[in-house]
Amino acid sequence: MKTIHRITRLLFHFGLCLYPVDFRKRYATEITRVFEEGLADAVTAGLGPTLGYGAKTVADLCASALRERLRCVGPRDGLVVFVAVICGHLAVCIDFLATEVQATLLVLLLSGFLVGTVASRPGWRWALLIAVWLPLLHVALFAFALVHSGAVEGFSRHPYLSRLLLLLPALVASLVGLYLAVLMRFVGRRLAGQSRRQS
């Protein structure tokens, strides 16, 4: 029971990091207190209620953190999200159509660069938003195809989870493109500053 208690608390405290900073500063203490009170009640009720409470609370935390994050998205960030999602889907299309992996990596690299020219900090989240569609859509389309062909039992035999590893090369390619753009922006600003000082 103590282990479950500890794991639930650990997951909860990790979940708190998902909130935007302002929200976390304002409410983290209160949210933690409410969580601890609920957990204490659940622990006295037994193992089942404790597990149920832990799972529900962590799920609620993730969902509400996403809601709070979306509330903080400004019009510019909204546009960047839109472009990143479109670029991610484009990379998936290229991956299905092209015979060589280089084409997909090039699209991811260019997508990262495009988003990096306008994206706000931290850049890695935009790279993740571009890259995440490749493994997700691979697994989703594979599952969809199996269900429609009626060979659902093949899903358990096929190593489809290995497709999730596609995230790694996709992320590397989009990160390289994105930080290349960030570097170019930085150098451009420095050069512009120098030329202003000289004039």
Interacting residues toward other proteins by CB under 8 A: 15, 19, 23, 26-27, 29-31, 33-35, 37-38, 56-57, 59-61, 63-65, 67-68
CA distance 142 to 161: 11
Cis, bond preceding 169 (omega within 30 deg of 0): no
Q: Cα separations (Å) of 105 from 64, 110, 179, 193?
A: 34, 9, 15, 34
- Tell me how far, at minimum, the Cβ of 45 lies from other proteins, in Å: 14
Our CB check for other proteins shows the closer of 19 and 126 to be: 19
- The nearer residue to other proteins, 41 or 47, going by C-beta atoms, is 41
Cβ 41 vs Cβ 11: under 8 Å: no
- CA 74 to CA 13: how far, in whole Å? 27
Residue closer to other proteins, measured from CB, 71 or 197: 71
Nearest distance from C-beta of residue 50 to other proteins, angstroms: 15
> Minimum Å distance from CB 85 to other proteins?
24
Q: How far is the CB of 41 from other proteins (least distance, A)?
A: 9
